[in-house]
Structure 1
Amino acid sequence: MTTPYYCSKLRTLPNLLLVFVFALSYTLAEAQEEKLMLHFEGQDGPGKGKKIVLISGDDEYRSEEGLPMLAKILSTHHGFSTTVLFPINPENQEVVPNHNSNIPGMEALEDADLAIILLRFRELPDEQMKYFDDYLRAGKPLIALRTSTHAFNYSKDSQSPYAKYHWQSKVPGWEKGFGRKILGETWVAHHGNHGKEGTRAMMDGLQVANKNPILNGVTDIWAASDVYTVTHLGDDATVLIHGASTSGMNPDAPINWEKSLMPVAWTKSYNLEGGKKGRVFASTMGASVDLMSEDLRRLIINAAYWGLDMEPLIPEEAVVEIVGNYQPTMFGFDNFRKGMKVTDFE
């Protein structure tokens, strides 16, 4: 007996329903995962095929706003594929910079070619921190901005093998922690008057004369964040830019010549025990409002090329036009935008 056409169709409905439900659940799960990080596929440019991971996690200088903007510049204008990670409150999956113990997606560092960080006083769980430690042991390049000098702050009773990263570590070989060990300096003090004095960048004359490619097209930087005190960088550090304190919080403010200059951007190498040697570019500038400076953005983009051994490809004047809308929040504690999800920073 031949099965009526409509009966045959009815029998396939349960199977079709199962397929639909599976596809829907997979899509929802994928969307849920996407909310924990941002990804921008690289377009045409010299960086095509290279992956950069940008890690935000500070409670004052709005890295959750600034790093996505830099990621879009790197991917849109220079071809790098970029992934941006955020401090997430696991209870509601909101971006909460004050939540210092959770940055999902650190496994993205496994195949990253470059990492850019702006962190402050984080105490990440070992399963997340392991990826960062492995990255450094592999000797991969690092760009560290502003408060990354004091990126980690472990509790006194911490038994973590990564507690040596603490900004005031006393572990032999790790004195002053990650900042001193990897970047050349930990947190010391505000050299400028915080919130009242900005930073006027002054290019190092020798580096300009020697045509250091990281300084290509970089001539005019004023940052709203103040100059940090820097007392120790190590013998292999090369200072690219010195910072003068400005007597006011605008680009036209005069320089306060009563204060000495301090390094505000430099390069150096690092080497973890048993690991490979790596390159570091560090700057005590980098707040979200600082990045309104076109030449500061250019400096960081140039440093990305340098870190990846792509110096010959550093443009004479790299394109750093902001992609989309960017209205950064002024720095300050607890003034981050509340209720924000990762997708709000796309």
Structure 2
Amino acid sequence: MILPIRRLLGSFCALALLIAPLAAGDLQMKLRFQQETAPDSGHFHQLTRDEAWKPEKTAIIVCDMWDLHHCRNAVLREQQFAPRLNAVLKQARDAGVIIIHAPSGCMEKYADHPSRKRAEQTPKAADIPTDINTWCYQIPSEEDGIYPVDQSDGGSDDDPKQHAAWAAELTAQGLNSKIPWSKQTDMLTIDPERDYISDKGDEVWSILAQKNIDNVILTGVHTNMCVLGRPFGLRQLSRNGKNVVLMRDLTDTMYNPGAWPFVNHFTGTDLIVSHIEKFVCPTVTSDQIVGGEEFAFADDKRPHVVMVMAEDEYETAQTLPQFGGDFLGRDFRVSYVYGSETDRNSIPGLEKALATADVLLISVRRRALPPEQLEALRKYVAAGKPMVGIRTASHAFGLRGKEPPEGTETWEEFDAEVWGGNYTNHYPNGMKSMIETVEANAKHPILRGVSREPFPQVGSLYQTAPLAAGTTMLLTGTVEGKPAEPVAWTFRRADSGWSFYTSLGHKEDFQNKSFQRLLLNSIYWAAGLEVPNHFDLTKPAPPQRKG
């Protein structure tokens, strides 16, 4: 029995009916990919490029959108995005795109279907690649990266009672609860006059060859398993020269949050998509075919935290991604944006990231920016959205009054306007300071779980006083014989948005549990979430293997 779907479909069916038809002519595709900031840096710019595809030279392969699955949650998620996928297939088909349905292991069900016969009768291509009929576990480009999730437990995210009840229901229907699928879901239309049905690598390759297909879109489930590894999957098509992409918003993963890296299920999907963009192929979204917005799962409530890193002194390009990977994946979607390695005054991908950011964390030092990048930042702040800043964020976009390079702009008032600060200089590194809680504000949520015991600061103490009206001081730092300086505070900006800033953020601060908790709390607070009373600051150990 198919699960009840009325509640799950909701607006998605309405959306499919309201979307305007795909315009005639080329498909205007925006491919997202990741490029290493510098050789062997381990950091990646998230970039896009525009391509125009001929519909008649394009195919969509629908991978394993089965009618049932042994994981109940997997079925529920598939039922959420199936109506949107069906709308994509209809409009792409009508534009001249070839549709190949690939419900693996179900060919017997379609033995007499015209679309299956069409695939079987397609002449074998002369250039069928070696091993095209085998599963592909890795391609050479992936050897440079660590596979981002542990799926060795099969990836089911059902809770045990739910999973047992679902298995019993499948068994009662006379099905094998471990392999209950027998066909593609009926929520997707198969056009008997135009579509193909095949789960065989050589057949799919031959269809592509006969139709002179250059461009292939993969969609369906599950990205970390079938979509990547099948004979017709991303790896095989990528390594054999097809211009293949993943439709990243119409897919899912088999990932259990109880496995490493112990993150939200949807964060697990994001990690796999990121791996694909770095090492396998670009990605696209369904709105490029049907218009409107990208599809999003109803249960994906994660705020989007964007971390912007463009400073060299404190190595936050290493510490912040490590921090985000260790501690934020449970409740947040996290993106990382890096300053250019070849152009000091550019932060590639900043505008795109800001368009969907819910919290912006800044770790930048004295950069001028192209006008379009700085304008995107100004618009984000003016919208009253939350900001978090560490260390050099107080002088992120100022050049001490110097003229910026041609074609760039500065924001000299950034400290005062965004953080409510007044950075003027810092004490010499040799002058040690002690950090203390402002007792009058000790119950502030950002200080929850932060030790009340004074602790030594690793880096130099910033001179930040006096703060602007609208600030609430949380921590101070003192150098012997000098007045106390504000070290951490919140600020209600003129645009009514909230900011948190701390002059902590030295590389070694990230080993201090008080600083870890302070920064964690500030992100929860900025996102409007309840700051946890307790948080396990033990870093999850990765499995001792790849893939």
Q: Scaled by the length of structure 1, what TM-score is found?
A: 0.69
User: Is the contact between residue 315 and residue 507 of structure 2 (CA under 8 Å) also seen in structure 1?
Assistant: yes
1:231 matched to 2:346? The reply is no
Structure 2 equivalent of residue 336 of structure 1: none
Counterpart residue number, 1:260: 483
Q: Which of the numbers 411, 423, 427 marks the counterpart of 1:187?
A: 423
- Contact 2:122–2:210, Cα closer than 8 Å, also in 1: no
Aligned position for 1:282: 501
Q: Deviations over 1:10-68 (max 9, x none)?
A: 37445477464674454799437999xxxxxxxxxx99521100111112111111211
Q: CA 1:265–1:131 in structure 2 vs 1: closer, same or farther (change >3 Å)?
A: same
Task: Please list every run of 5 or more consecutive structure 1 residues that lacks an aligned counterpart in the other structure.
Answer: 36-45, 91-98, 167-176, 246-256, 326-346
Larger radius of gyration, structure 1 or 2?
2
Residue number in structure 2 paired with 1:67: 320
Deviation at 1:6, TM superposition (A): 10
Identify the structure with bigger relative contact order (alpha carbons < 8 Å, sequence gap 6+): 1
C-alpha distance in structure 2 between counterparts of 1:315 and 1:48, whole Å = 17
CA contact (8 A) 1:74 1:82 kept: no
Matched AA of 2:492? S
Identity of aligned residues (%): 24
2:218 aligned with 1:218:
no
Q: What letter is aligned with 2:504?
A: M
Match of 1:103 among 342, 347, 359: 347
Deviation at 1:235, TM superposition (A): 1.8
The corresponding residue for 1:81 is: 333
2:380 is aligned with 1:135: yes
SS of residue in 1 equivalent to 2:123: helix
Aligned-residue RMSD, C-alpha: 3.2
Pick closer, same or farther for the CA change 1:8–1:289 going to 2, 3 Å: same
Contact conserved, 2:345 with 2:408, CA < 8 A, in 1? no
Question: Can you give the 5+ residue segments of structure 2 that lack an aligned partner in the other structure?
Answer: 1-119, 127-205, 216-236, 247-274, 283-298, 543-547
Q: Does 1:10 align with 2:125?
A: yes
Aligned match for 1:270, one of 493, 496, 499: 493
Instruction: Return closer, same or farther for 1:213/1:157 CA change in 2, 3 Å cut-off.
Output: closer
TM-score by length of 2: 0.45
Aligned counterparts of 1:229 and 1:200: Cα–Cα separation in 2: 14
Secondary structure of the 1:88 match is coil
Contact kept in structure 1, 2:309 and 2:338, CA below 8 Å: yes
List per-residue Cα deviations over 1:71-109 (Å, max 9, x = no partner).
113433x4111001111225xxxxxxxx52121121211
What is the deviation of 1:263? 0.8
Distance 1:160 1:10, change over 3 A: closer
- Change in Cα spacing, 1:214 to 1:321, as seen in structure 2 (3 Å) is same
- The answer to whether 1:118 aligns with 2:341 is no
Aligned residue for 2:378, secondary structure, equals: helix
Query: Structure 1 17/144 Cα, relative in aligned 2: closer, same or farther at 3 Å?
Result: same
1:153, distance to aligned residue in structure 2 (A): 3.0
Secondary structure of the equivalent of 1:179? helix
Deviation of 1:296 (Å): 0.5
2:476 alignment partner in structure 1: 242
Q: Give the deviation of 1:198 after TM superposition.
A: 4.0
Report Cα offsets for 1:207-258 as digits up to 9, x if no partner.
12xx21111111154431121112221121111011123xxxxxxxxxxx32
Q: What are the superposed Cα offsets for residues 256-275 of structure 1, whole Å, 9 maximum, x if unpaired?
A: x323221100111113xxxx
C-alpha displacement of 1:197: 3.5
The CA distance in 2 between the partners of 1:22 and 1:198, in whole Å, is: 58
